[in-house]
C-alpha cells in the first residue's frame, strides 16, 4: 500500500479509503468484519463512515458494526484513521425532530457522543460535515469543534459535498478565530464521468490545503465495465448506472471507454481508480466493497500505472470542464 499526507496535516493515510456504507444494508456483520480485516492486512488504514449509514430505522448500524470490530482488539483501533460524518437527522422515530440534524453546536455535541458510543472508541480522527448547513454560521460550528478538540473527542475536521465558496468561507472563519486548524479535507463526488469538481471545489481544496477524497469513484458502477457485464450476464444495470446509460451520448462514451481499456488489457474499475490516483490534490478515492473480491480489485489499482496513451484517451472520452472561470467565461 502507498501512503500520503492528508492535505496540509502531518497525518499519513493510505491512497485507498475503505468506505463502509454497504456494511449493514448489503453486507452482514461477519462479512463486514472480514473485509475490514483484509483491508487492514493490505495496509489500508483510512476508514470512512457516517452516523446515518445503515439508513432508515437502522441509522447508526454501520458505526456499530465498526465498533464491534474495534472491540475485538488486536490493535485494530490504533491502526485505523477513523472518519465519520455529521448532518443527517438521527431522531429515533425517523421524524425530523428539531435539533437532531444539521450543524448546530447542540447537534454536533450530541452527534459526536452518540457516534463515539456506537464506534466503541474515545476519539474520532476526522469528523466531517456531511453537507453544508445554510442556517448555522461557521463561527458557531468552529466554536463547537474547538471544544471537541480540546476534549480530545476529535482531532481534525473535514467537509463533504461542499462547493468551493463554502470551503473558502469555512477556512476564512477558522483563520479569524485563531488557533483553529479549519477544514483539512473535502469528500466530493469525483470520477471520470463526473468532473465538475475540477472547476472550483478541487482548486479551493488545493489552495486551502485540503486533501480531496472522491466518493463514487466508479459512478455507481458505470465505470466498472457495466456494458461488458450486461452482455455476459444478461442483467440490466440499475441505479445511477442505468440512469446514465439512458443518455445516448454518455452511453457512447462508456462504449468508447470500455473499448479503449480492452485494447490495452485493462479492467475498467481498476483503471477508473488508478486515474483518480493521478489527479492533482487527490488523497485517495473511497472504495466501498461489498465482497472480498471487490476489495482485491481495488487494491490492484494502487499499483496500476496508466500509460500516457491511456490517460490521453481517457481525457478525449471524458473531457473535464476545465478550471473556472475559463470553463464558463473567458
Catalytic residue positions?
53
Rounded Cα gap, residues 186 and 173, in angstroms = 16
Residue 245 phi, psi dihedral angles, 5° rounding:
-70, -15
* Rg of the chain in Å (alpha carbons): 20
Helices (H), the chain: 29-41, 61-70, 76-79, 105-119, 138-151, 164-177, 201-207, 226-233, 239-245, 248-263, 268-277, 292-303, 308-317
Rounded Cα gap, residues 10 and 300, in angstroms = 26
The answer to whether 237 and 251 are in contact (CB under 8 A) is no
Distance of CA 285 to the CA centre of its chain: 6
* SS3 sequence of 32-93: HHHHHHHHHHCCCCEEECCCCCCCHHHCCHHHHHHHHHHCCCCCHHHHCEEEEEECCCCCCC
141 SS3 class: helix
The cell numbers describing 49, all together, are: 463512515
Amino acid at each position: 500500500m502507498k501512503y500520503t499526507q492528508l492535505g496540509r496535516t502531518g497525518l499519513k493515510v493510505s491512497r485507498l479509503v475503505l468506505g463502509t456504507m454497504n456494511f449493514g444494508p448489503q453486507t452482514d456483520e461477519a462479512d463486514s468484519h472480514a473485509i475490514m480485516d483484509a483491508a487492514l492486512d493490505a495496509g489500508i488504514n483510512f476508514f470512512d463512515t457516517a452516523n446515518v449509514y445503515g439508513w432508515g430505522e437502522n441509522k447508526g448500524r454501520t458505526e456499530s458494526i465498526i465498533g464491534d470490530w474495534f472491540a475485538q482488539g488486536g490493535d485494530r483501533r490504533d491502526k485505523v484513521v477513523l472518519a465519520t460524518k455529521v448532518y443527517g437527522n438521527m431522531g429515533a422515530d425517523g421524524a425530523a425532530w428539531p435539533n437532531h440534524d444539521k450543524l448546530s453546536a447542540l447537534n454536533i455535541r450530541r452527534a459526536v457522543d452518540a457516534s463515539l458510543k456506537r464506534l466503541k472508541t474515545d476519539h474520532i480522527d476526522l469528523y466531517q460535515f456531511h453537507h453544508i448547513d445554510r442556517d448555522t454560521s461557521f463561527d458557531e460550528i468552529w466554536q463547537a469543534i474547538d471544544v471537541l478538540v480540546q476534549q480530545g473527542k476529535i482531532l481534525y475536521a473535514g467537509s463533504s459535498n461542499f462547493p468551493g465558496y463554502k470551503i473558502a468561507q469555512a477556512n476564512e472563519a477558522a483563520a479569524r478565530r485563531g488557533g483553529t486548524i479549519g477544514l483539512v479535507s473535502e469528500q466530493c463526488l469525483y470520477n471520470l464521468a463526473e468532473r465538475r469538481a475540477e472547476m472550483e471545489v478541487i482548486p479551493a481544496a488545493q489552495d486551502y490545503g485540503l486533501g480531496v477524497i472522491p466518493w463514487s469513484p466508479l459512478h455507481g458502477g458505470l465505470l466498472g465495465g457495466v456494458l461488458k457485464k450486461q452482455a455476459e450476464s444478461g442483467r440490466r444495470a440499475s441505479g445511477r448506472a442505468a440512469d446514465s446509460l439512458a443518455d445516448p451520448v454518455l452511453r457512447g462514451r462508456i462504449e468508447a471507454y470500455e473499448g479503449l481499456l480492452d485494447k490495452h488489457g485493462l479492467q475498467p474499475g481498476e483503471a477508473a481508480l488508478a486515474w483518480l490516483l493521478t489527479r492533482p490534490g487527490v488523497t485517495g478515492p473511497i472504495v466501498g466493497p461489498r465482497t472480498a473480491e471487490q476489495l482485491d480489485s481495488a487494491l490492484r489499482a494502487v499499483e496500476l500505472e496508466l500509460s500516457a496513451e491511456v490517460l490521453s484517451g481517457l481525457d478525449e472520452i471524458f473531457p473535464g470542464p476545465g478550471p473556472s472561470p475559463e470553463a464558463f467565461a473567458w
